């Protein structure tokens, strides 16, 4: 067992008896990132993004905040293989010392962390200081339930008995689920609570002859890429059928597929979960999108 696995193992029994329920809020109405309050070590309350698309570390700390918290890291100890949407280079991420994460009244023990400047552009965009990003390496031991109607997050050890099977990308650990567009497919969608809108491969959008709407930029950790809005008549995914569903169509999916290590045709973001309940049972690799 690795040292990293041991640290997470020590944290697990604290959630073994009862689910942990904490409120969340959106960054802004226009940017529905899932924000939760956390404490790192003995800090005052901090704002973190809950991001199923972040696969680098259980806790990724904003570099400026890391210095304020006294989190030690070395810029010579850089984590390889990071990926960020955008035309620029992927942001640098450095290994840092183990940290204690507290959610609500529960201290979840020590776990490894990373430090990066990737959260700075998000902080500026929403006008709030984002201290950290909580990602897959923490969530993977639990069933995550995000109720977008009541804005509550539940972490539990309860298995999801129904739902759709998914796989985890072998390189970048995104949950990838199959779905159909206008009755065609299946196509493969990565589930990303850190995405404020769903995105579709431009190549697939053109192959399906989807309407080309207004041009928009898609912002990511490495800058932005050009895209345009489009609409599909029917999207079927996660056990749910969506009508007149909106995607942004972008050009970065070849690089995303390479980073994930498995083919990805689209990303399911916040507009796929609006006023619904997203449940991801990571241990049993099943998910559902249901009514509250």
CA distance 126 to 33: 10
Q: Are 36 and 24 within 8 A, CB to CB?
A: yes
Domain boundaries, the chain: 3-156, 164-290
Name the CATH code of domain 164-290 (choices 3.30.43.10, 2.40.30.10, 2.40.70.10, 1.10.8.420): 2.40.70.10
Assign domain 3-156 to a CATH class: mainly beta
CA distance 61 to 73: 11
pLDDT value for 136: 93
Is the four-CA dihedral 180, 172, 215, 31 of positive or negative sign? Answer: positive
CA distance 76 to 225: 29
pLDDT value for 13: 41
Residues 6+ apart with CB under 8 A from 124: none
Which CA distances in Å does 185 have to 40, 178, 207? 44, 8, 12
CA distance 153 to 281: 13
CA distance 238 to 236: 7
CA distance 251 to 206: 11
CA distance 290 to 292: 6
Q: 10-residue block means of pLDDT along the chain (292 residues)?
A: 41 62 92 93 93 90 89 82 57 88 86 89 87 94 96 96 94 94 97 92 96 83 76 97 96 86 94 96 97 92
pLDDT digits (tens, 9 = 90+) for 138-188: 999 999 999 999 999 999 999 998 899 999 999 889 999 999 999 999 999
pLDDT value for 82: 56
Omega before residue 55 within 30° of 0, cis: no
Same fold, 3-156 and 164-290: yes
Write phi, then psi, for 253 (nearest 5 degrees): -75, -25
Is the four-CA dihedral 246, 180, 136, 165 of positive or negative sign? Answer: positive
């Amino acid at each position: 067992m690795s040292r990293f696995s041991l640290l997470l193992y020590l944290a697990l029994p604290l959630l073994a008896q009862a689910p942990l329920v904490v409120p969340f809020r959106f960054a802004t109405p226009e940017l529905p990132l899932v924000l939760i309050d956390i404490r790192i070590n003995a800090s005052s309350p901090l704002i973190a993004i809950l991001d199923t698309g972040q696969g680098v570390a259980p806790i990724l700390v904003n570099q400026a905040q890391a210095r304020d918290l006294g989190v030690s890291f070395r810029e010579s100890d850089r984590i390889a293989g990071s990926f960020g949407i955008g035309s620029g280079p992927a942001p640098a991420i450095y290994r840092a010392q183990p940290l204690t994460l507290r959610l609500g009244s529960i201290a979840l023990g020590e776990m490894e962390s990373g430090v990066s400047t990737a959260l700075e552009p998000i902080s500026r965009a929403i006008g709030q200081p984002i201290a950290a990003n909580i990602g897959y390496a923490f969530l993977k031991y639990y069933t995550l339930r995000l109720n977008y109607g009541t804005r509550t997050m539940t972490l539990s050890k309860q298995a999801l008995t129904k739902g759709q099977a998914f796989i985890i990308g072998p390189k970048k650990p995104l949950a990838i689920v199959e779905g159909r567009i206008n009755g065609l497919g299946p196509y493969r969608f990565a589930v990303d609570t850190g995405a404020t809108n769903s995105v579709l491969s431009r190549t697939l959008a053109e192959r399906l002859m989807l309407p080309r709407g207004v041009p928009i930029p898609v912002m990511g950790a490495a800058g932005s890429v050009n895209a345009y809005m489009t609409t599909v008549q029917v999207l079927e995914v996660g056990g749910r059928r969506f009508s007149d569903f909106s995607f942004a169509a972008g050009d970065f999916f070849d690089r995303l597929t390479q980073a994930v290590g498995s083919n990805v045709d689209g990303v399911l973001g916040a507009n796929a979960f609006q006023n619904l309940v997203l449940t991801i049972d990571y241990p049993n690799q099943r998910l559902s999108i249901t009514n509250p």
